[in-house]
Structure formats: structure tokens, C-alpha cells
Structure 1
Amino acid sequence: MWHVAPVWIAGNANVGTVAVGAAGVALGADLLWIIIAACAGSAFGAIFAALHSTQGPHLGLPQLIQSRPQFGYAGAGGVFVLALVNYIGFNTFACILAAQSLSVGIGLGKTASVLAVVTISAVIALLGYNWIHHATRWITPAFLISFAVLTVVAVGSDATVAAVAPIAHGFAWTPFLVVFGLAAGYQINWAIYVSDYTRYLPPTVSPRSMFWCTYLGMSLSSMWLATLGALLAARFVPGDAVAGVVAAGDAATAGFGRIVVLIGLLGLIATMAMNTYGSTLTLISMLDTFRDIRPTARLRTVAVLAVSAVVILLTFLASDDFLSSFGTYLTLLLYLFAPWTAINLVDYFLVRRGRYSIAQIFKADGIYGRINGRGLLAYTLGAAAEVPFMNTNAFIGPVTDAIGGADLAVFVGLAVGGTCYWLSYRGYDFAGEEAVLRSDNASGAPISATKSGRLI
């Protein structure tokens, strides 16, 4: 079970995480509060992803398939679409950074860089679950050593103090919540497929231990690199995470910056491989919603190639204004997935308490139905409740505008989505579902029926 932690450490071990902290400096906010916001956001967002990870050993299912009891067999299709957009969008941003890293590291041109990183990540995704685990175990030690040196350089000289001194504007809610949202969104992004990497563990694994292995690996690595990103942007190159890493590395010793960038590149490739693997499962699940299909090696290959082709196309079409686009993208992701993660966790821990018929989840006419109006309504209400509290480049909600720009949408979406779903099941008679679970159990069909989904 311990090897789950390196998966999420390696997932954050790249300049994309550094860019989260660097984006805060680009806002002109106080450095201390940027760091506090990034750490708080990382700690907050990782809670949800780690809770989802405990579902993997218990249910043995890809994360998004678990949405069918909440939204229905066909209703979960909307979640699949959002997830696919997430995978492809995140891989596009990662590919942009990876291409920059290869250009800086070995002078490779953009076209060759993009094709190289997409091809490598696609091959790892095709090799599957075990290869992703193996890759992250090799990447993690190299990351820890190189970025530790980088951190010493970033905080260990008078130049840092001199660079930070002008950035002392005091506390302000708006930039604090922007950075908090970026860091939280970066971690909640993992929630849609975190149990994909725990579902092969035995059901006897302790949920508490599973939670902490995921949470600590994910949150601590994110806090570290987001803080490092803020320090590098303040001292070296504002607005360019890759250039900041190179400058800090070269400040330690000539040429070390390129080495660190290339090690960070390995983390980006690992992240892209995880996203490609997850998008393949999602795409196949979408197709399975409309007709029964077998996830053969050929189908997986076609799915990987299709997703990779879209990522390549979008990478060449994407804007060069990476930090601005990246921040907007993460904010929108947080808006979209906050109600979903609340609904999924409330269903698992509070409503059904971990009691599911795995066989029925794969039946279009099963006990969970084609459309679950309760889940869809709760999601709609949660998402709609966020609108007045949003703060984006294109739209500022009226409540946010009235309180000076503080973006509270994610808190509202989580609370309203989760609460509405929980209330919709108050008094619901689960006798029919229990009867099916007993029948499936008697017939040998797979079920997941514990007394509780709590972390005990």
C-alpha cells in the first residue's frame, strides 16, 4: 500500500505544480499570504482526493464508474464528458510545459518535443497500471534530491530577502482565494481518477491507512512545490515557471538548472501518462453507456491514440500565455467538479455507506436506473449556487462583486451539492436495493457490502 504515496508525489513532481505558486506572484500579492494560501489550498483539495482513494480497494472500480449509483447508468455520461475534457485539457497544459522543458534542457524544437512527450506518455499508458506505479517509484527519489537543492537555493540567501521585500502589500481576500482555489483545484483534479490507482489493492486494506498514504503524498508535495514556485517567481523570473527553475538551479551550480528541468519533465510525463490512462478508461466507459463493449487491447490502443492526437492538436493551438490560461482552467475545473466530488463522497460515506452491487452498476436496467434525478438535481443546484460567488476573467458574480472580489464558489458548490444530495435521500427506502444485494450475494455476483464506508 505504501507505493501509492510515490504515485501522487511523482504526479506533483513537475513545473506545473511550481506554476501554481508562481501564478500568485503574478497577481502582485503578498508573498507570505501566497504561500499560506497555496499550502491551505493543497491541504484542502487533497482531502477529497484521498477520501476517493479509499473507495478503490473496497469497490475495485475505476473512479468514474462509481458515479453511476449517484447519477444513473446514462446520467453518469455527463460526468464522463466533463472528466474527458479535464484529462485532455490538463494534458495540453502539461504538454506545453514539457515542450518548454525539453527546449530549455536539450534545445529540442517544439514540434519534436511535443511528439516525443506525447508518444512516451501514450506508451506508458498502454503498458498500464503497473508500469505507471513503477515509473513513479523511480521518479520520486530523483525529484526529492534535485528539488531539495533547488529549495535551499530559493530560501538560503540574502537575494531572496531582497527580492521578497517589495512584495509586502498585506493580506487581501481576493488574491488569497485565487491562489487557494488554484492549489485546491490542482489536487481536486486528481479526485476523478484517484481510485483508479488503488482499485487493485485487496479489500482488507485499512481505509485510514489508504487515506493517509494518498493524502500525505499528494498534499505535502503540492505544498512544497507551490511554495517553491512562489519563491522562485519572486526572486528570479516572474511569470515563467520553467525559466525560474533553470535560474535557481544554475544559481547552485552552472548547468544544474537544466538537469532539474529534465527531472521535472519526467514528472510531467508521468502525469500525462496517468491522464492518458484515465482518459482511456473514461472514453471506453462512455462508449459502454450506449452499447456493451469489451475493453480489448485494440480498443485501448485506439482510445489512447485518439486522446493523444487531440492533445497534440490543442497544444499547437494553445495560447503562449500559460500562467493566465492555466489559472483560468483550474478555476473552471474546481467549479465543475466541486459538486460532483461532494455528491460522490456523501453517497459513499453517508447515504449508501459503502453498500453497492457491483454487478448492478454495469447494468443499464439495474437498480441504480438509467437516470438518477436526485443526483442530477443536486449537481445542478450545486453548480447553479456557485454562479453568484464566481470570479473569473469573463464573469464576476454579484455576491463576489459586493464583497470585493473574494471567490467563494467552490465552498458553496461543495456544501450545496453534497447537502442537497443527502437531503434527497432522507427517508428513502433502501429495502429494494438491500434485497438485490442479498440476491446478488447468494448467486455469487460481485457486491461491495460493508456496514459502513466510514474511515474506521
Structure 2
Amino acid sequence: MSATEKQDVEAGNVDESMTPQGDVDHGEVSDVKRVREIQNSIGFLRALRKSEEWLDKKLGVETQGIERIPEEEKQPPSIWNIFFMWWSLNTHVGTLALGILGPEFGLSLRQSIAAAVIGIVLGALTTSYTGTLGPKLGMRQIATSRYSFGFWGAKLCSVLNILVGGGFGVVNYVVVGQVLSAVSDYKMSITVGIVIIAVVSYVVSIFGFKIIHAFEKYSWIYTFIIFCVLLGQTAPHVDANLKGEDGTSGLYYAGTFLTILAINFSNASGWCSIAADYYCNFPSTIPAWKTFFLTFWGIVIPTTFTITVGTCLGNAAMSVAYPPYADAYDNHGLGGLIAEIYHPRGWSKFCLVLLTFSVLGNNIAINYSSGLSLQLLGHHFHAVPRFIWSLAFAIVVAVLAIAGQENLSAVVNDFVSLLGYWTVSFTLILLIEDQVYRRHDGYELTAWDQPDKLPWGLAATSALIAAYCAGGVPGMSQTWYVGPIAAKFGGDGGDVGIYMSGAITLIWYPVARYFEKKYTGK
């Protein structure tokens, strides 16, 4: 048994009887062996593997896939990267689109910010918790879910994680397309801008963990500065005392408030299914509370700042309806609005070009994690190099962004708010599994890729589905559907699907998992 495994045993994370050295070697080698057999039996996959190895040798493209990282092989960056990484992931032009929704829905500046902050704080709690499993287990986030969802149930989490990344990616691509179009005085189409940012984001993402951490640590700085300038140039036309639209009181107001809260919760919690992807190289000796709070404040501070800037833009353009801003937003979207706010014209174009690259931190993380999620769908998927899956993902998201470029607000509302119904259940399932069922039994670390040693996953999968169907569906408020409970708030309804999903998960999973473990022993 390695020193790390002894530490795990002493900490109560791993059962000593489950981790003999022979099993460690067999478990790790068998997975690689199966993937290599698949690659060697198919000429195309064999060529891709050789290409990946050549790219790694010449350019440093990461060949590490979804395999568990043993303690002795971990190469951790500075622990402060945990904090600063989230600044780059959340301080970018795409997040401004979320801030605009409050005024667009008729809320005042104060109401919009209050709803956003509550949602961000609650959502950050989910991501902060799931991230603590990365150093502890040395695994990617979806791989950690196999200890509750099982080998097959975790595939559902992989698919949902890819959809989460796709939703964020579509928003980012469209906003950047609008920004680049504004830089060209609207001579260049939004579609061309979408293609440009898709290509650049993909190229950076293929270099993997080390480059991503180095990039994310610093890329937020210039964006933060020019956002401060944007806020300053918007401020003269912002009216913090302006009340919300008529009707934003009573149940109608409560419904709108809850919907904005839900969207911001979903935005912050959307990272809960990838956080450990960037923490699995940190040593298991890092206290969980450090990982938790560095993640929590790393999400809350920059997201709140960026959302507040976006809310001020929406207040000036829609609530106050300052004519130049209102016209720019109506005719050219968020990109046109930002171009109008920055002045003089030369400075505006300079800032717009910089803001184009602000989404790279977000996009490359999405591409990277989505590639890993696709590998987790099975051994044949694992046999395809991550850089190929990331390319396929980038192409699909770019196509969706091109198709939805004229309806950004609807895309933001529909895609992002839908995420919360599953992220809250995902987090609570992992929390209950870790703190209740694994507190004494621990994790058999070598079983992560062996279906016969993992739970069946019926309890977790059924809890997720039940929470979505009985909680998310009747409580959701979307452009295309308002659930019967959400409709009780009047108007466009109030999104309470997140709270209902969470409550059902808390009731369903502990009971179902108890019986699953009792009758299967896993």
C-alpha cells in the first residue's frame, strides 16, 4: 500500500482491505490495456493515438485522459490557482448577458442584483462541495459520480454535463460574435465571429491541465479592468432609484425574482459537474475546507461583480431606456450595446477586441471538460483522444450558436436555467454518498472503472429522474413551458423547480441508497 493510500485509510476515506497493492496495479493497468486493445484493433484509432503522442512531443498537448491520477503522479499548481481560476471562468463578456435579464424581466436595479447574488451564493455552494472530491480521489468530476451513480448511471451525468457545457458555450459564442461584428462596424456577420472564437478556444483547450491553469490564473485581470471602465462609462445613465415595471409586486414580483435567482443559481452551480477536473492533480492532503472556500469565494466575488455590471447595462438600456443604448441593444444586441457605451470610438473598438478574448478562459474549460465527459461514456469513447472529442464538441456548439444568434435572451433563459434542476440533485447525491455512506466504508479507488465493484446506481439515477420529473417539470418557468406550480405566481410564472428538485432528492436518495446497499452490498 502506498503512503497516500495509508493516509486515506487513516482519514477514513478508503477501506484498507479494499486497496491491496495488487488490486491497484490490476485496476489501473486493466483499463489502459482495454483501451489500448481497442486502439490497436482499429487502424483509425491507432493513427489518432500516434497523432496525439506526436502532438504531445512537439507541442505539449496533454495526453492524460480520464484515468485516475495516483498520488505519486500528481503535479499540482499553486493552491491559489483554485481561487483565481474562477475569476477567468466568470469574468467575461458572456456573463454580462445574465445580468441584463433582470431589467429585461422588469425588475429594478436593486431587485435584479439581490436575486442574482442569492442565486450565485447558493449555486457556488454546490460547486465548492463537489470540487473537494477532486484532490481526495484524484479523479475527474464525472468519474467521482460513479461511486453513487454506478458505471452506467454516470453516463447519464456525462451527457448532462456535455449539455451544460453546450449551453454556456452557445451564449459565449453568440455574444462574441456580436462583439466582433460591432468592431467591424457591423460589416462582418455574427456568424464569422462565432467561427473565429470557436477555433481559438479549441486550439488553446487541447493543451490541457497545465496550460489551462496557467492561462486562467492571469487572463481575468485585463477583463476586470475594462469592465470597471465599462461600469464607469455606463454609470451616468443608470438610475438605481427607478422602480421595476408596473406589476412587479406581490406574487408576480416573487415569481420574477425567483426566476432570476434560479438562472443565477444554475450559472454558478453549472460548474459542479466539472470542478474536480481541475483539482484532481492537487494532493489529497489539502484540507477540504481550503478547497471549498477558495472555490466558493473564487466564484462568488467575480460572478457578482460581472453580473452587477451587466445589470447596470440592462438598467440603462431597458429600464431607463437611454435612447442611444436602447437603440444599440434593440438593433445589435449586447455587442452593439457595449460598443455604444465605450467611448470614444477608437477606445471602444480596442475594448471590444479585448473582450473578445475574455471568453477564452470560460470556453477552453468547457471544451476540455466536455471532451473528458465524452471519454467517460465507455471504453470505445475513451479510446478516442480527448482533443478529437473537444473538436467535435466545439463544432456542434458553434453550429447551435449560429442557429440561435438572433435570440440570445431566450437561449440564456432556456439553456442556463434548465441546468439547475439537475445540478442541485447531482450535488446532493454526491454529498449524501460521501458524508453518509462513504464516511466509514470509504472509497475503493481502483474500482472507479470496474462495473462489478461499483454500486448499481439505481438509487442515484432514480433520484435524479424523480427530482427532475416531480420537481423540475412542475416547478419550471421557461419560454416554451411553465409548470403548474410555477404558474401559480402569475405572469410568466416563478421558477421553483430547483428547490423542489432538491427537496425530492433529499427524501428519495437516502432511502433508495439504503435499500440498494442492503441488497447488493455495494
After TM superposition, the score normalised by the length of structure 2 is 0.75
Which 10-residue stretch deviates more, 330-339 or 320-329? 330-339
Is 1:361 aligned with 2:448?
yes
Report if aligned partners of 1:13, 1:264 keep a CA contact under 8 Å in 2.
no
Task: Quote how far apart the aligned CAs of 1:62 are.
Answer: 0.7
Which structure: larger Rg? 2
- Cα distance in 2 between the residues matched to 1:111 and 1:329: 20
- Cα distance in 2 between the residues matched to 1:417 and 1:256: 51
2:285 to 189, 204, 208: 204
Query: Match of 2:179, SS?
Result: helix
Structure 1 228/164 Cα, relative in aligned 2: closer, same or farther at 3 Å? farther
- Cα distance in 2 between the residues matched to 1:256 and 1:164: 30
Is 1:255 aligned with 2:346?
yes
Report if aligned partners of 1:11, 1:271 keep a CA contact under 8 Å in 2.
yes
Is 1:19 aligned with 2:112?
no
Is 1:179 aligned with 2:260?
yes
Is 1:47 aligned with 2:125?
yes
- Cα distance in 1 between the residues matched to 2:283 and 2:347: 42
Which 10-residue stretch deviates more, 9-18 or 310-319? 310-319
Residues 339-385 of structure 1, C-alpha deviations (whole Å, 9 max, x = no match): 2222122212333239211211111222x24x321112211221122
Structure 1 167/261 Cα, relative in aligned 2: closer, same or farther at 3 Å? farther
Which 10-residue stretch deviates more, 65-74 or 163-172? 163-172
2:334 to 217, 241, 244: 241
Residues 403-432 of structure 1, C-alpha deviations (whole Å, 9 max, x = no match): 433221101101211332123344855995
Structure 1 392/115 Cα, relative in aligned 2: closer, same or farther at 3 Å? closer
Residues 111-149 of structure 1, C-alpha deviations (whole Å, 9 max, x = no match): 442232112111111100111112122312212222122
Query: Match of 1:245, SS?
Result: helix
Is 1:399 aligned with 2:517?
no
| Letter of the structure 2 residue corresponding to residue 134 of structure 1 | A
- Cα distance in 2 between the residues matched to 1:103 and 1:319: 12
- Cα distance in 2 between the residues matched to 1:142 and 1:37: 27
Query: Match of 2:409, SS?
Result: helix
Which 10-residue stretch deviates more, 223-232 or 97-106? 97-106
Structure 1 22/403 Cα, relative in aligned 2: closer, same or farther at 3 Å? closer
Residue ranges of structure 2 left out of the alignment (5+ in a row): 1-78, 318-324
Query: Match of 1:52, SS?
Result: helix
Residues 303-324 of structure 1, C-alpha deviations (whole Å, 9 max, x = no match): 1221122123222222411012
1:317 to 388, 391, 403: 403
2:208 to 106, 119, 128: 128
Task: Quote how far apart the aligned CAs of 1:21 are.
Answer: 1.3
Matches within 5 A, 1:137-216: 137-155=217-235, 157=236, 159-161=237-239, 165=242, 167=244, 169=246, 171=249, 172-216=253-297
Is 1:32 aligned with 2:110?
yes
Who is 2:371 aligned against? 280
Structure 1 19/110 Cα, relative in aligned 2: closer, same or farther at 3 Å? closer
- Cα distance in 2 between the residues matched to 1:196 and 1:131: 14
Who is 1:221 aligned against? 302
Report if aligned partners of 2:82, 2:295 keep a CA contact under 8 Å in 1.
yes
Which 10-residue stretch deviates more, 215-224 or 349-358? 349-358
- Cα distance in 2 between the residues matched to 1:3 and 1:359: 28
Who is 1:438 aligned against? none
Which 10-residue stretch deviates more, 416-425 or 123-132? 416-425
- Cα distance in 2 between the residues matched to 1:235 and 1:153: 11
Task: Quote how far apart the aligned CAs of 1:401 are.
Answer: 2.2
Seq. identity, %: 22
Which 10-residue stretch deviates more, 195-204 or 314-323? 314-323
Who is 1:101 aligned against? 179
Which 10-residue stretch deviates more, 385-394 or 41-50? 385-394
Report if aligned partners of 1:22, 1:232 keep a CA contact under 8 Å in 2.
yes
Who is 2:74 aligned against? none
Report if aligned partners of 2:476, 2:495 keep a CA contact under 8 Å in 1.
yes
Query: Match of 1:320, SS?
Result: coil
Which 10-residue stretch deviates more, 60-69 or 164-173? 164-173
| Letter of the structure 1 residue corresponding to residue 309 of structure 2 | L
Who is 1:230 aligned against? 311
| Letter of the structure 2 residue corresponding to residue 188 of structure 1 | S
Query: Match of 1:280, SS?
Result: helix
Which 10-residue stretch deviates more, 207-216 or 142-151? 142-151
Task: Quote how far apart the aligned CAs of 1:173 are.
Answer: 0.5
Query: Match of 1:407, SS?
Result: coil
Which 10-residue stretch deviates more, 199-208 or 346-355? 346-355
Residues 137-169 of structure 1, C-alpha deviations (whole Å, 9 max, x = no match): 2312212222122223334x3x323x8636465
Report if aligned partners of 1:53, 1:211 keep a CA contact under 8 Å in 2.
yes
1:390 to 476, 479, 497: 476
Q: How many residues end up aligned between the 2 structures?
A: 421
- Cα distance in 2 between the residues matched to 1:69 and 1:12: 30
Query: Match of 2:342, SS?
Result: helix
Who is 1:437 aligned against? none
Which 10-residue stretch deviates more, 267-276 or 141-150? 141-150
- Cα distance in 2 between the residues matched to 1:323 and 1:421: 35
Report if aligned partners of 2:126, 2:424 keep a CA contact under 8 Å in 1.
no
